[in-house]
């Protein structure tokens, strides 16, 4: 289970890197990226770690697949290695 309070970030385990949270019938549910991309394309999506808004996009490599991209990068999410500063923090524009 993923904690939903902003205070869980420093102690939580990192969930499966292939999932994101999708708002389904008013509640956040962790789903695989492939499902979020195929079946919940218009739904609101957020990162399960920092709760920042994300989108999914297909990968056009030989293997295909789906990637999750933050709408706005920040230094507090380990799922953005290029920008991550080493300490997990709630996104400044987190979705509740």
Task: Write down the pLDDT at residue 3.
Answer: 44
Instruction: State residue 58's pLDDT score.
Output: 87
Q: What is the pLDDT along the chain (96 residues), one digit of tens a residue?
A: 344 444 344 333 344 467 999 999 999 999 999 999 999 999 999 999 999 999 999 888 777 788 899 999 999 999 999 999 999 999 999 999
pTM across the whole model: 0.78
Q: How far apart are the first and last CA of the chain?
A: 17
SS3 content of the chain, % helix, strand, coil (to 5): 10, 25, 65
């Amino acid at each position: 289970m993923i904690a939903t309070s902003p205070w869980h970030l420093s102690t939580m385990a990192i969930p499966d890197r292939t999932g994101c949270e999708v708002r389904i019938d008013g509640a956040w549910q962790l789903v695989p990226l492939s499902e979020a991309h195929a079946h919940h394309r218009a739904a609101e999506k957020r990162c399960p770690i920092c709760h920042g808004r994300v989108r999914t996009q297909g990968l056009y490599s030989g293997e295909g697949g789906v990637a999750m991209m933050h709408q706005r990068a920040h230094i507090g999410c380990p799922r953005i290695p290029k920008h991550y500063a080493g300490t997990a923090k709630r996104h400044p524009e987190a979705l509740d």
